[in-house]
Chains A and B, each alone.
Chain A
Amino acid sequence: MYNLVMKDLKLGVNPMFFVLPLLMGALMLVPGWLYFLVPLYFCWITIPNTFAGFRTQNDLMFTSMMPVTKKDIVKARITVIVILELLHIVIAMIYGMITIRLYPNLTYYFFAPHMGFWGLCFVMLAIFNLIFISMYYKTAYKYGGATTASITGAMLFAGIAQWLGIENSYVTDIFNGTGADNTALQISILLAGIVIFFAITMISYRVAVKRFLKVEIL
């Protein structure tokens, strides 16, 4: 498993995608922006490009020749996706903290980058993973449909959440109003988001393994 993850990090994933979180995260510095867009860059850029790479480099055949189980192949690939996602989100969080201190008196129309908001981002990526991973492993090479569907799912969630955040005074209050100063509340939303993220990713892993075992490597 470890070897497979290292294989992807060394060969499969272009080094640019380890730098990308730093560049895209910097968008957090735009005052009062729609911050949901920041982690979405991962879904828009990193995922399709990396999986196109796996396909053109014939990674599936390469991996299948190694002494590894199909289960480990899936587990390693999902680990790599999660590593990249965490990289994006953690770096964006750091930029977010800078933003809050940089513009202390800003009125936010969209969600402000408090911890609770990052909880929502984790849920968004969970939805992305669920759709992408389970769809992709039907064939283990067709990433186009899976990318489109999973991005749509993630953006729908972000759109609805943001719409509620603007229209619904209760939600506004939790994320941007008085709730923002309630550290316990913010931390619990973030933790809930993280738990949902890992739980749903685990479910997608199980679905993916089941599907990948039926895939024939040609």
Chain B
Amino acid sequence: MLALDIRNLNKKYPNFQLKDVSFQLEKGYIMGFIGANGAGKTTTIKSILKMIHIDSGEVRILGKDIAEHEIELKQEIGCAFGGLDFYTRNKMKTLTDVIKKFYKNWDDETYYNYLRRFKLDENKKIAELSTGMKVKYSLALALSHGAKLLVLDEPTSGLDPVARDDLLDIFQELVVDGEISILFSTHITSDLEKCADFITFIDNGQIIDSSEKNEFMESYRLLSGSESQLHQVKEQLISYKTNSFGFTGLIHTRDFDPSSDVRATTPSLEEIMIYYAKKEDIYV
């Protein structure tokens, strides 16, 4: 079953456009949603949650169309947008008491278990929480109302390496039973290398690729060689950088002739992102 099924999402702004965004997330997996700042990650996520109006397209969550079953589905979605920035002068306890009334599947026991596990003191004010604790609090809220799909917008940005690693471990534990699925956007690609099952890469409002992580990385090759070698492959490269030693450039594996003598390695997610961003610069 698909936890999330997005098809042909279109949204036009004066200076930016989401073009035919489509991707699918299988239930019980973690999908990393990567892209540079301004690539359209948050816009896509907000379209999924019906917070902004889409011009066309279809969003199905757990098999149901969100346009028709919005309220019902929001009971099963947990979301977090970066830092928690509402009612920050209130205690977590006060906020939770208000929030829990909205969810019919709220479970106090689960909630307190997560508070203990995340070492959160519910008498603290939101403003007193560190960035990592805010994310954990959002997660505790989402999990206590029995969310089946977690939609997290940059949950790891602003966290230190220890907190990030801790959070990623939690993500992996959550999906073990196959009940919960996670879509999280980030620009910190090392997070995804650690825990994502699938990668969806968005660039300038368009989905470049959405596939299994290793498959995704294997579909690209990072070439490096001398300037004379550059001319052999220049046409096929997505983009390249030159330096005094020669060049490095990104290429689709299918466009690369393995018998050539250009040195090829598997790029990291970060390198893929960077070379795609460079490609845009060329056209500008």
Contact = CB atoms under 8 A, between A and B. Distances in A.
A68 B70 CA distance: 8
A211 to B, nearest CB: 13
A62 B87 contact: yes
Contact of B101 (A3, A214, A217): A3
Interface in A85-101: none
A218 interface: yes
- Interface band, chain B: 20 to 34
Contact of A66 (B46, B52, B87, B102): B102
B98 A217 contact: no
A68 B46 contact: no
Contacts of B71: 67-69
A142 interface: no
A86 B255 CA distance: 72
14 contacts: A11-B90, A11-B94, A57-B87, A59-B86, A64-B51, A65-B49, A66-B74, A67-B75, A67-B103, A68-B71, A216-B51, A217-B46, A218-B51, A218-B52
A6 interface: yes
A11 B98 contact: yes
Nearest to B88: A57
Interface residues of A, number: 20
B70 A216 contact: no
B273 interface: no
B263 interface: no
A188 interface: no
Nearest to B52: A216
B85 interface: yes
A61 interface: yes
Given A66-B99, A67-B74, A68-B102, A61 B52 contact: no
Contact of B81 (A61, A67, A69, A214): A61
Contacts of A59: 86-87
Contacts of B98: 3, 6-7, 10-11
A3 B102 contact: yes
Contacts of A67: 71-72, 74-75, 102-103
